[in-house]
Amino acid sequence: MKRNTLEYEQALDATVGVLQTRAAAGAEPLTYGALSAEPARQGHDVPAHRGPMSYLLEDASLRRSPDGSLPMLSALVVLKATMWPSGGFFQLARRDHFSRPGDDTELWARELAHLAKHYRSR
């Protein structure tokens, strides 16, 4: 699956939907494997740890926050072994677009709190 194809855009729509629903419910983060299973139910093959997953998470965050002011949906996805976001989340959070300050623990906790508040109020 390549970026900017119909297949990718459909998988991205499914991923955004899963993450928004989870954020609105105030649910705990989910693992890459659990997230991968959700688009698969809709016919989209998104392997948990290779291929397009990192791009889907980046694009999900960018789609919902084109100017970087809204919380990052990718904060809801964690590694099963650590129950902590991957390094890719923190790299994205610190890029110019989002420019999130703070150490990793503070940044992630703040992003989760902002997600819950933003999506519950919608």
End-to-end CA separation in angstroms for the chain: 32
Cα–Cα distance, 29 to 2 (Å, whole number): 26
Q: What angle do CA 39, 114, 19 make, to 5 degrees?
A: 5
Cα–Cα distance, 76 to 103 (Å, whole number): 17
SS3 80: coil
pLDDT band at residue 114 under the 50/70/90 scheme? very high
| Average pLDDT, integer, range 4-19 | 93
Give per-residue pLDDT as tens, 23-78: 999 888 999 999 999 888 888 778 787 778 999 999 999 999 999 999 999 999 99
DSSP one-letter code for 75: G
What pLDDT is recorded for position 122?
65
